[in-house]
Amino acid sequence: MSKKFSNTMRIITNGPVELLGDIQIEGHENSSSAYLCRCGLSSNKPYCDGSHTKGGFVAEGEIEAKQSQPLEQEEGPLKVSPRKNGPNIINGNVEILSDSGKHIEQRAKLAMCRCGHSKNKPFCDGAHKEIDFEAEGT
């Protein structure tokens, strides 16, 4: 039986990433939930504003489960650092779930695509450089 993580990240098919837990997004108020844009089209980055629908964003949410090592801890804050013109860097213990809630893996550090062009969605593969993605960040 899987353990209970205090933070979860659900990959929504053709839509954003849903974060639940102790969410701390750099430059924004802490919250218990957030929807992060992963299509690159939001006017309110790093948050989703629904533009993925109009933009016809297509991205799988039922990604394959991976073997991952148990984490030393399963609690603590989930810190999101949007990188200027790049991905969302996520630090903190988190369980990744498919759109339907299936366990994918657990991680303590991640780079999540937010330009919409990675070939390894929902993770960053550096495609933001090729498309000259522009977004605020540090």
From the CB of 31, what's the least distance to ligand FES, in Å?
17
* Among 34-42, 73-81, 91-99, 102-110, the segment contacting ligand FES (CB under 6 A): 34-42
37 binds ligand FES (CB under 6 A): yes
Q: Which residues of 73-110 are buried (b: 16+ CB within 10 A; e: fewer)?
A: ebebebbbbbbeebbbbbbbbbbbbbbeeeebbbbbeb
* Among 1-9, 50-58, 77-85, 98-106, the segment contacting ligand FES (CB under 6 A): 50-58
* Among 18-26, 42-50, 89-97, 129-137, the segment contacting ligand FES (CB under 6 A): 42-50
Which parts of the chain are beta strand (E)?
8-11, 17-25, 31-36, 78-82, 88-97, 103-112
Q: Of 38 and 121, which CB lies nearer to ligand FES in the complex structure?
A: 38
Dump the DSSP string for 43-59. SSTTB--SHHHHTT---
Number of residues that bind ligand FES (CB under 6 A): 12
Give the interface with ligand FES as residue ranges (CB under 6 A).
15-16, 37-39, 41-42, 48-52
